[in-house]
Structure 1
Amino acid sequence: MTLQTEDDVADFVRAAKGPVAVRGGGTRAQGGVDETLPVAGLSGITLYEPGALTLVAKAGTPMTEIETALAAERQQLAFEPMDHRTLLGTAGVPTIGGVVATNASGPRRIQVGACRDHLLGVRFVDGSGTVVKNGGRVMKNVTGYDLVKLLAGSHGTLGVLTEVSLKVLPLPERVATLTKVVPDAAAAVRILSDALGSPYDVTGAAAAQDGDGFRVHVRVEGFDDSVGYRAAQLRDLLHLDDGADPWADLRDVTALGDCPFVVRVSVRPLQAAGLLSRMDGVDRVQLDWSGGLIWLGGAQAALLAQAQAICADIGGHATGIKGDFGPLPRFQPQPAPLAAISAGLRAKFDPRGILNPGVMG
């Protein structure tokens, strides 16, 4: 079945007799649900106003189409949505609906925020088949409940996105990357934290394994003269060298692509080294957001159980990204009060419990 319009999606949901798996461009493996709700047919940019820094697109619009349109005007989605295909070993076509549904955000999040912070408005179909519109096409547009923020990162469990409105930003005139190899994660986090704590407007602070140590990467962007000055100051302050541009690979976590199991952990940056010292069976590590985001790759599903247990102890969240984790919940179990709120929201938006059941608990 090919769904081409929002009304098609609403009719499909109303007619559904049981659980459905929402499918966009097919970049993520889905299982456990027999019926698929395909939204890739809802495609196309419906409004793009470069002067107003606003773009509106249907949920099934390929990211390549959006990026091409923005690049022609030297603009971008500044939150750097990652492409999961190399990491997950899947094919398909990344879509803007999938980006919003997963709140996919890359290294620049430390400066500009996540996808949800750039989302101006949404249209979606809830679990009863009702079309809902929230937000608009300017920043100050929300009265009542801010469903825009709620839908971002809901993984299709509250509604099927049909259209999104996003704020876009200009491309920088110049980008500079500084780098250095350090002996361990603790040293990497110290340098990255010092970079972010400096007055030099860092837009990327990440580290990837390099032999027995870690190679840190620090990015500055903006106008040519400003970038030259700030890069020179950081080079002297942190004893860094000029480096190549690694940010697409860091964004897409390509270094962990051959790991059977991948876990994504979010903690306070200064807790990163301590968490890693308590983990067993980790084959590969990547740090982002100065160590606040940790990617762990390994050969055993126990990786997720370990990470979630440590996060329950120190605070934070561990999410299973790649691999069959069996009965383990892919998302960090919530405390009882938050779990009750989450269940209540799902009951309101999807009273039959048919949208992507089991994805988030």
Structure 2
Amino acid sequence: MDITSEDALVDAVKGASGALAVRGGGTRGVPAVGDVLSVAGLNGISLYEPGALTLVAQPGTPVADIEAALAQENQRLAFEPMDHRGLLGTTGTPTIGGVMAANVSGPRRISVGAARDFLLGVRFVDGRGAIVKNGGRVMKNVTGYDLVKLMAGSFGTLGVLTEVSMKVLPRPETQATLVLLGLDDVGGVSALARALGSPFEVTGAAHDPAAQKTMLRIEGFETSVAYRLGQLRALLTTTGAEMDVLDEKASESMWMTVRDVAAFQGQSGDIWRVSCKPSDGPAIAARSGAEAWFYDWAGGLIWLRAAPGHDVRTQIGTFDGHATLVRADASTMAQFGMFHPETAGVARLTAGLRAQFDPKGIFNAGLMENAA
């Protein structure tokens, strides 16, 4: 079912006799049952005020269209949303609704925050077919819930977005990346932690064990970038690592590969995404039983490539964080579930929220039921 207006969406939800699989650009390959409800036709930027750093768009608007409009004003989506197509082998077009529904946040999350932190307001249709609006310029919350934060990361299980209002930021003058060579996992993550604990405003912090490369991005005015790079070099001299610097063009290209997990594109196996305390990252990766891994967010995000059917969650055991199965065949996804099992208390809260916003359980049914 292709939706081209909010009124049509309301009618579709009210008339639904079973589950609805909410879809935008179709790039995530999210497993869900029911009739496909595509909101790709809800497309377009309805308001852009560069001076106010504010943009409002419908959910089916391609991310590329938004980035192109922002680029004309030397602005950007600072949270750096990932393009999943290369990693998942999907087609389609990444949309802003999908980005916000999944809270898709890239390497710059460590410095500017997640996608949800840039979401000012939402408009959506709930499971009863009612139109709900929350946030926006007034930021008035009349429901008792912070719906802006609830909708970001809900994967379409609480309602179907029809409009999002976002904060955007200016694009910096330049960027560069300091690369440390030859460090192991513990040494690399330790270096990232030291850099982030410094006053030099690092906006990207990743470690590639396969290449033994530890990467630190600096952005801003050219003179400031040069100064901070020099200070970081001095700070990290004690690591004993060889150092190199990537200029603006090379740095920008390299961080796109980090953002999109290019190292695992075209590689066989299941893909897991582990969120954890950065200091725990090396130990978690080592006991995961994965074939390869990659650290982002200074070690707080680990991308794992494991043998098909390998139970990464059991191998890791109890830890402060969660492991999401991002790519696997249907049987493995059904066996382990996409999302990490919730604790009993969180599961009760989740069930209560779904009962409030989707009492018939029609939106992306079964997507999160494994997390209980």
Residue of 278, 301, 319 corresponding to 1:314? 319
Equivalence for 1:358: 366
Alpha carbons 1:46, 1:58 under 8 Å: kept: yes
CA–CA distance in structure 2, aligned partners of residues 215 and 223 of structure 1: 25
Deviation at 1:181, TM superposition (A): 2.0
TM, length-normalised to structure 2: 0.92
1:208/1:108 Cα in 2 relative to 1: closer, same or farther (>3 Å)?
same
Equivalence for 1:323: 328
Deviations 1:313-344 (A, max 9, x none): 22211001011323212211111011100011
Residue of 332, 335, 354 corresponding to 2:340? 332
Deviation at 1:32, TM superposition (A): 5.0
CA–CA distance in structure 1, aligned partners of residues 169 and 319 of structure 2: 36
Deviation at 1:142, TM superposition (A): 4.2
Matches within 5 A, 1:1-361: 1-137=1-137, 140-142=139-141, 144-211=144-211, 214-239=212-237, 240-243=243-246, 244-245=250-251, 246-257=254-265, 258-280=267-289, 282-306=290-314, 309-310=316-317, 313-324=318-329, 325=332, 326-361=334-369
CA–CA distance in structure 2, aligned partners of residues 226 and 183 of structure 1: 27
Q: Secondary structure at the match of 2:353?
A: helix
AA at the equivalent of 1:250: V
Q: Flag structure 2 segments of 5+ consecutive residues without an equivalent.
A: 238-242
Alpha carbons 1:43, 1:61 under 8 Å: kept: yes
Pairwise CA RMSD:
1.4
Deviations 1:99-133 (A, max 9, x none): 00000000110111000000000000111111100
AA at the equivalent of 2:226: G
**How many pairs are equivalent?**
354
Deviations 1:35-55 (A, max 9, x none): 100100000000000000000
CA–CA distance in structure 2, aligned partners of residues 55 and 47 of structure 1: 6
CA–CA distance in structure 1, aligned partners of residues 184 and 270 of structure 2: 22
Alpha carbons 2:32, 2:364 under 8 Å: kept: no
Deviation at 1:185, TM superposition (A): 1.1
CA–CA distance in structure 1, aligned partners of residues 147 and 34 of structure 2: 29
CA–CA distance in structure 1, aligned partners of residues 31 and 325 of structure 2: 15
CA–CA distance in structure 2, aligned partners of residues 141 and 112 of structure 1: 24
Alpha carbons 1:181, 1:215 under 8 Å: kept: yes
Deviations 1:272-311 (A, max 9, x none): 111122121x22211011100100012222243335x52x
Tell which deviates more after alignment, 192-201 or 254-263.
254-263
CA–CA distance in structure 2, aligned partners of residues 194 and 80 of structure 1: 23
Deviations 1:26-76 (A, max 9, x none): 112244524100100000000000000000000000011000000000000
TM, length-normalised to structure 1: 0.95
1:52/1:142 Cα in 2 relative to 1: closer, same or farther (>3 Å)?
farther
Moved runs in structure 1, 4+ residues, more than 4 A? Answer: 140-143
CA–CA distance in structure 1, aligned partners of residues 4 and 32 of structure 2: 25
1:180/1:164 Cα in 2 relative to 1: closer, same or farther (>3 Å)?
same
Q: Flag structure 1 segments of 5+ consecutive residues without an equivalent.
A: none
Q: Secondary structure at the match of 1:187?
A: helix
CA–CA distance in structure 2, aligned partners of residues 111 and 198 of structure 1: 12
Identity in percent: 54
AA at the equivalent of 2:68: T
CA–CA distance in structure 2, aligned partners of residues 196 and 259 of structure 1: 33
CA–CA distance in structure 1, aligned partners of residues 82 and 362 of structure 2: 28
Q: Secondary structure at the match of 1:231?
A: helix
AA at the equivalent of 1:241: D
CA–CA distance in structure 2, aligned partners of residues 32 and 112 of structure 1: 32
Equivalence for 2:240: none
